């Protein structure tokens, strides 16, 4: 997602655009998230907070084989027709064959490009379930999950103003991965478009949790070796937007569950 000029200025003023990694419990565990912060009471995140300065993260996902216009809300049981990855380019993708009525097979190509690379396990032989929602909400709203037939989420992403579809509980949409929005991690900064706050996502898998702020990459991992890799290209909001250009809230991220270590 392209960041508006006012947003870039806000990040430059705050000095908290980061690609730092956060994850496993232990000596480097992320502290509990602070309580919600009032607009007129900025928080000093400190040098070790998840929004400490860094290089940023990027992510983009595409799902082909659907109409170019109109709203979409589907859940499809599919098998993998083709699968490829190009780690040096930060890319992996697959072609899914999804049976439909009348014995027809719908084909949908899913690709994810990310920096850092979001590794994906080799697709299971017994198929995958693709859920894809698209809403006609400016500047566009898309969410997807790709999971095992037994319900385990293997990959997911959002490009919207909410982390999950408005009528879906994040616990159900991403389960068993836990995902929640965290406020108060980065200070509220004044901009020409209004008070601006970078947000974070708290991602959990079992007992392990990681806090990944806007513009950063991170993970949550368990003692058994399972991990969730997360790239958060954007997670921010204007608390009182006075410009016509940017959206008031933005979430642009993707996550994957790589092969167990």
Beta bridge partner(s), residue 199: none
pLDDT value at position 48? Answer: 54
Per-residue model confidence as pLDDT tens digits over 129-152: 999 999 987 667 999 999 998 888
Residue carrying structure tokens 């490829």: 84
Confidence check: pLDDT of 18 > 70: no
User: Which one has a higher pLDDT value, 55 or 194?
Assistant: 194
Residue 36 confidence class, pLDDT cut points 50, 70, 90: very low
Kindly state the average pLDDT of the residues 185-212.
Answer: 91
pLDDT value at position 50? Answer: 65
Percent of the chain with pLDDT over 70: 75
Q: Any idea which of 31-45, 60-74, 98-112 has the lowest mean pLDDT?
A: 31-45
Looking only at the bridges linking them, the beta strands covering 200-205 and 178-182 are antiparallel
Residue 208 confidence class, pLDDT cut points 50, 70, 90: confident
Query: HSE (CB half, 13 Å, CA atoms) of 192?
Result: 9
| Three-state SS annotation for the chain | CCCCHHHHHHHHHHCCCCCCCCCCCCCCCCCCCCCCCCCCCCCCCCCCCCCCCCCCCEEEEEECCCCCCCCEEEEEEEEEEEEEEEHHHCEEEEEEEEECHHHCEEEEEEEEEEECCCCCCCCCCCCEEEEEEEECCCCCEEEEEEEECCCCEEEEEEEECCCCCCCCCHHHHHCCCEEEEECCCCCCECCCCCCEEECEEEEEECCEEEEEECCEEEEEECCCCCEEEEEEEEEEEECCCCCCCCCCEEEEEEEECCCCC
Residue 27 confidence class, pLDDT cut points 50, 70, 90: very low
Of the candidates 69, 115, 65, 58, the residue with the CA atom closest to the CA atom of residue 94: 65
Kindly state the average pLDDT of the residues 124-132.
Answer: 90
Per-residue model confidence as pLDDT tens digits over 171-196: 999 999 999 999 998 999 999 999 99
Per-residue model confidence as pLDDT tens digits over 84-114: 999 999 999 999 999 987 889 999 999 999 9
Query: HSE (CB half, 13 Å, CA atoms) of 128?
Result: 26
């Amino acid at each position: 997602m392209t960041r508006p000029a006012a947003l870039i200025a806000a990040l430059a003023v705050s000095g908290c655009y980061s690609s730092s990694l956060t994850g496993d419990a232990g000596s480097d565990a992320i502290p509990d998230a602070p309580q919600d912060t009032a607009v007129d009471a900025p928080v000093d995140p400190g040098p070790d907070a998840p929004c400490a300065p860094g290089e940023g993260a990027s992510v983009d996902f595409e799902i082909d084989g659907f109409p170019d216009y109109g709203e979409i809300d589907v859940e499809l049981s599919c098998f993998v027709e083709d699968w490829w990855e190009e780690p040096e380019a930060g890319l992996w993708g697959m072609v899914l064959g999804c049976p439909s009525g009348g014995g027809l097979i719908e084909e949908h190509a899913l690709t994810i490009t990310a920096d850092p690379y979001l590794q994906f396990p080799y697709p299971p032989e017994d198929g995958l379930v693709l859920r894809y929602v698209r809403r006609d909400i400016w500047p566009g709203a898309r969410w997807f999950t790709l999971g095992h037939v037994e319900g385990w989420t293997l990959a997911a992403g959002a490009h919207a103003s909410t982390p999950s579809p408005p009528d879906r509980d994040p616990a159900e949409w991403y389960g068993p991965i836990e995902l929640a929005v965290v406020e108060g991690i980065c200070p509220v900064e004044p901009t020409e478009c209004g008070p601006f706050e970078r947000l974070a996502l708290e991602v959990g898998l079992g007992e392990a949790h990681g806090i990944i702020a806007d513009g950063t990459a991170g993970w949550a991992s368990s003692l058994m070796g399972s991990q969730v890799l997360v790239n958060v290209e954007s997670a921010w909001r204007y608390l009182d937007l006075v410009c016509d250009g940017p959206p008031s809230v933005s979430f642009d991220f993707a996550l994957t569950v790589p092969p167990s270590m």
